[in-house]
């Protein structure tokens, strides 16, 4: 905020603060949220009143005091210019037209716009501990316009370009979990095949490995189930290592051919009708919501009839957690399900990764289909349960 704008809303020295202060009983909004931005509590809105007019100020203006989180300069601030400290709007001048009730209405409207009126209400955090009342606010701040979006993606790729091109590197120093990860992925994939592509074993299937890194998923999982795999990865040195790793005689595997695409997911257009399975693991967090949904739409076209998508990803307990260092967002289950819906995808199967270190995010696997498929009901074999003797341990 410019110093001129600050001066404009500073009260004269003889000004008696209390008279104009908005009543807000109890601990201040700022104190309660440890100085961070936070949603506006209902109680605050109900208590919001203000008195107008005071000597030295134009008659049509009144001054107000409150603590209201400001998310993005003055753009998302309902009060126009004023004194903003630590992301909280503290004091401003306002045209008196409409009076205090109009002002209270503006607060309510803004709150509705930011926090309510949609299914997307979950609050989120960034790695500095700042909170965001909605995901829209977070994206507005971190990407904003086209330039901001480009910067976001450049940051992500720059982060990975500085990481060692190895399994340990792509797993953030947790190379040791790769075996466990592949084990559960394999189980999940086999389960999906069982009902979606029952004759998968005898078919020459094709898969796409998205954000493939050094080819870990392809080398340890996909080679055993697919005849051909395409890898798409934006970091050149990862792709080079993947090429070396996968340039072997595929004896004992099903794989006959691999193709490498040096590209980012937000730009990649899967060839139409090419894939039986599109595998997306630990990379979708780099994409903005809009690009995730657009990618889902393109991915759907890239699937063969009956094909499916597997998304395996870290899951936040609620809302989202933005990592400023690598420009990525960890989304909640609810958040993902909303994006699936927007992309026209249905969750056919859903499992949680087991036996990962406790300090890590939960990891979920989703099998996504383009059509809603009813799951087959398990039929009880008559009399089986009744005839099974109980075991006394």
Q: How far apart are CA 344 and CA 333, in angstroms?
A: 16
User: For ligand SAH, which residue of 29, 225, 286, 349 counts as binding (CB under 6 A)?
Assistant: 286
Q: Which stretch binds ligand SAH (CB under 6 A): 156-164, 189-197, 301-309, 379-387?
A: 156-164
Residue 275 is classified by DSSP as E
Residue sitting closest to ligand SAH (CB): 213
- The number of C-alpha atoms within 13 Å of 138 and in the hemisphere containing its C-beta is 32
Instruction: Judge residue 96's burial from the number of C-beta atoms within 10 Å of its C-beta, 0-12 exposed, 13-18 middle, 19 or more buried.
Output: middle
CB of 290 to ligand SAH, least distance (A): 13
Terminal Cα-to-Cα distance of the chain (whole angstroms): 72
Q: Which of 67, 133, 185, 281 binds ligand SAH (CB under 6 A)?
A: 281
User: What is the rounded distance in angstroms from the CA atom of residue 215 to the CA atom of residue 256?
Assistant: 15
| Contact status: 234 vs ligand SAH (CB under 6 A) | yes
Cβ–Cβ under 8 Å, residues 34 and 46:
no
The secondary structure of residue 96, as a DSSP letter, is -
* Minimal distance, residue 264 CB to ligand SAH, in Å: 4
**C-alpha to C-alpha distance for 168 and 177, rounded to whole angstroms:** 9
Residue 142 contacts ligand SAH per CB under 6 A: no
Residue appearing with tokens 């493939």:
212
CB of 249 to ligand SAH, least distance (A): 23
The smaller minimum CB distance to ligand SAH, of residues 78 and 211, is found at 211
Query: Which residue among 197, 217, 310, 368 contacts ligand SAH (CB under 6 A)?
Result: 217
For residue 169, give the 3-state DSSP assignment: helix
Asked whether position 238 contacts ligand SAH by CB under 6 A, the answer is: yes
| Residues 52/96, Cβ–Cβ less than 8 Å | yes
Per rule CB under 6 A, is residue 216 in the interface with ligand SAH? Answer: yes
Backbone angles phi, psi at 23, to 5 degrees: -75, 125
Give the nearest distance from C-beta 50 to ligand SAH in angstroms.
47
153: contact with ligand SAH by CB under 6 A = yes
Give least dist CB 152 to ligand SAH, A: 9
Which residue in the set 211, 270, 302, 307 belongs to the binding site for ligand SAH (CB under 6 A)?
211
Phi, psi of 193 (to 5 degrees): -55, -45
- CA-to-CA distance for 104 and 116, rounded, in angstroms? 17
* 265 sits near ligand SAH (criterion: CB under 6 A): yes
Of 69, 78, 213, 270, the one binding ligand SAH (CB under 6 A) is 213
Residue 170 Cβ vs ligand SAH, minimum distance, rounded to whole Å:
4
Residue by residue, DSSP assigns 119-145 as: S----EEETTS-EESSHHHHHHHHT-S
- # residues contacting ligand SAH (CB under 6 A): 22
Residue 237 or 341 with smaller CB distance to ligand SAH: 237
| Binding flag, residue 233, ligand SAH (CB under 6 A) | yes
Task: Provide the binding-site residues for ligand SAH, judged by CB under 6 A.
Answer: 153, 156-157, 160, 170, 211-213, 216-217, 233-235, 238, 264-266, 281-283, 286-287
């Amino acid at each position: 905020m410019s110093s001129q704008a600050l001066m404009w809303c500073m009260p004269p020295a003889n000004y008696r603060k209390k008279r104009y202060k908005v009543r807000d009983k109890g601990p201040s909004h700022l104190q309660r949220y440890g100085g961070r931005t936070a949603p506006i509590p209902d109680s605050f809105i109900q208590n919001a009143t203000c008195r107008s007019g005071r000597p030295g100020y134009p008659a049509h203006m009144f001054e107000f005091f409150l603590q209201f989180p400001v998310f993005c300069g003055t753009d998302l601030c309902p009060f126009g210019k004023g004194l903003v400290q630590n992301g909280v709007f503290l004091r401003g001048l306002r045209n008196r037209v409409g009076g205090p009730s109009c002002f209270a209405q503006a607060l309510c409207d803004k709150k509705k716009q930011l926090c309510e009126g949609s299914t997307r209400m979950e609050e989120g955090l960034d790695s500095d501990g700042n909170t965001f009342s909605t995901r829209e606010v977070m994206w507005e701040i971190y990407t904003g316009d086209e330039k901001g979006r480009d910067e976001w993606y450049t940051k992500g790729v720059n982060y990975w370009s500085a990481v060692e091109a190895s399994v340990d590197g792509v797993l953030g120093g947790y190379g040791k979990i790769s075996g466990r990860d592949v084990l559960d992925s394999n189980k999940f994939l086999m389960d999906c095949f069982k009902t979606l592509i029952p004759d998968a074993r005898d078919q020459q299937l094709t898969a796409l490995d998205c954000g493939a890194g050094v080819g870990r998923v392809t080398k340890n999982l996909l080679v055993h189930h697919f005849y051909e795999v395409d890898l798409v990865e934006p970091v050149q040195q990862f792709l080079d290592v993947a090429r070396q790793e996968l340039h072997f005689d595929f004896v004992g595997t099903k794989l006959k051919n691999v193709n490498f695409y040096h590209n980012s997911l937000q730009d990649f257009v899967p060839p139409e009708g090419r894939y039986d399975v599109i595998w997306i693991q630990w990379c979708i967090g780099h994409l903005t919501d809009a690009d995730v949904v657009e990618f889902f739409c393109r991915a759907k076209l890239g699937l063969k009839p009956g094909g499916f998508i597997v998304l395996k990803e870290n899951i936040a307990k609620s809302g989202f957690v933005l990592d400023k260092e690598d420009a990525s967002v960890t989304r909640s289950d609810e958040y993902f399900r909303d994006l699936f819906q927007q992309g026209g995808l249905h969750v056919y199967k859903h499992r949680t990764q087991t036996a990962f270190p406790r300090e890590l995010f939960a990891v979920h696997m989703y099998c996504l289909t383009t059509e809603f498929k009813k799951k087959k009901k398990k039929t009880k074999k008559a009399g089986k349960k009744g005839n099974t003797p109980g075991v006394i341990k």
